[in-house]
Structure 1
Amino acid sequence: MTNRSEQFASLEEPQKRGQAAEAIVKSEFVSYGISVLSPEYDNEPYDLVVEIEGDFHRIQIKTAFEATTDGAVRFRTRSTRTKSSGYEREGYEGSVDLFAVYAPVCDETYLIPIEDASKTQMTIRYEQSKNNNVKNINWHEDYLFHEILPSLGFNPTI
């Protein structure tokens, strides 16, 4: 575990962990020189918007937690709101373009196009499973932040 992961794990309040994940994701974009825009209000379905080569992408930021199987992390792909009548769960289809996911257990950041995400939650595997299953696996290297950026039109100048 890296120092950032340890520091993140020491945050007890879910709100602080969410704020830290947002800051980590924002810093990833900024470190590539990508413009980051924040919505004025908290009630938007996206947490930020990035501009890449003149195109705008709505981003929902999530924190991944350890999955029930070793070597994998999981995050929820639905929003949950508390209402007087109970919980309201809603998907992000049509409201966001990408999930940006911080996984503190392996200190990695992923970008997942909404069309690749499952309806309720998504698992990303960063180590081979014990039973060596390789079918229907979302491998972390396919969603690493820097690997997805070119598919969004980002071409860093070298």
Structure 2
Amino acid sequence: MPDRSEHFASLEEPQKRGQAAEAIIKSELVSRGISVLVPAYDNEPYDIAIEVAGDFHRIQIKTAFEATTEGAVRFRTRSTRTKSSGYEREGYQVLIDFFAVYAPRCDESYLIPIEDAGDTQMTIRYERSKNNNSKHINWHEDYRLDETLASLGSNPIR
């Protein structure tokens, strides 16, 4: 029987992949007892808001793709919109609190504080690099959903 990441990979349209990533992230949060709020309109810079320990957090949901280096995934930290004059690229600083990221390659979900994300993209490593570099690495275990939720005062169901 195909697993979730195989089903995800079979989606051909980028919009469907984005919708699937949003559904997966929402499901992961709800299954941990986290309240998920969805804006009434889609023109907000965040896709959802969550309430954890009485605090609200704005979240932009992204899909991670395989990075150019083996053992890592990457996601974009900028919004790109098509305009009549070309493309408009905009960052999320001060507009959101976290990126929630679904990585189909390793079927993991991450919750990354905006201040930890790069200006244009972020790479998360789930395996050691071939040259064993360990400096300035964003390790997946530091950003797994349960780890970040625990730091926010939530007691996620494990």
With structure 2 as the length reference, what TM-score do the two structures score?
0.97
Q: For residues 11 and 157 of structure 1, do their structure 2 counterparts lie closer, same or farther at Cα, with a shift above 3 Å needed?
A: closer
**Counterpart of 2:58 in 1: which secondary structure?**
strand
Structure 1 residue 116 displacement after superposition:
0.4
**Counterpart of 1:90 in 2: which secondary structure?**
strand
Q: For residues 126 and 156 of structure 1, do their structure 2 counterparts lie closer, same or farther at Cα, with a shift above 3 Å needed?
A: closer
**Alpha carbon RMSD of aligned pairs, Å?**
1.3
Structure 1 residue 155 displacement after superposition:
2.7
Question: What CA distance in whole angstroms lies between the structure 2 residues aligned with 1:150 and 1:44?
Answer: 27
Structure 2: runs of 5+ lacking an equivalent? none
List structure 1 runs of 4+ shifted beyond 6 angstroms. none
| Residue correspondences, number | 157
| Residue matched to 1:21 | 21
| Residue matched to 1:89 | 89
- For residues 6-31 of structure 1, what are the alpha-carbon distances to aligned partners after superposition, in whole Å with 9 as ceiling and x for unaligned? 00000000000000000000001101
| Residue matched to 2:11 | 11
Q: Report percent identity of matched pairs.
A: 78
Q: How do 1:1-158 residues align onto structure 2 when only pairs under 5 Å count?
A: 3-156=3-156
Question: What CA distance in whole angstroms lies between the structure 2 residues aligned with 1:97 and 1:15?
Answer: 23
Structure 1 residue 112 displacement after superposition:
0.2
Question: What CA distance in whole angstroms lies between the structure 1 residues aligned with 2:103 and 2:94?
Answer: 25
- For residues 87-108 of structure 1, what are the alpha-carbon distances to aligned partners after superposition, in whole Å with 9 as ceiling and x for unaligned? 0000001110000000000000
Q: For residues 69 and 157 of structure 1, do their structure 2 counterparts lie closer, same or farther at Cα, with a shift above 3 Å needed?
A: closer
Are the counterparts in 1 of residues 149 and 156 from structure 2 also a CA contact under 8 Å?
no
Question: What CA distance in whole angstroms lies between the structure 2 residues aligned with 1:98 and 1:59?
Answer: 5
Structure 1 residue 113 displacement after superposition:
0.2
Structure 1 residue 156 displacement after superposition:
4.6
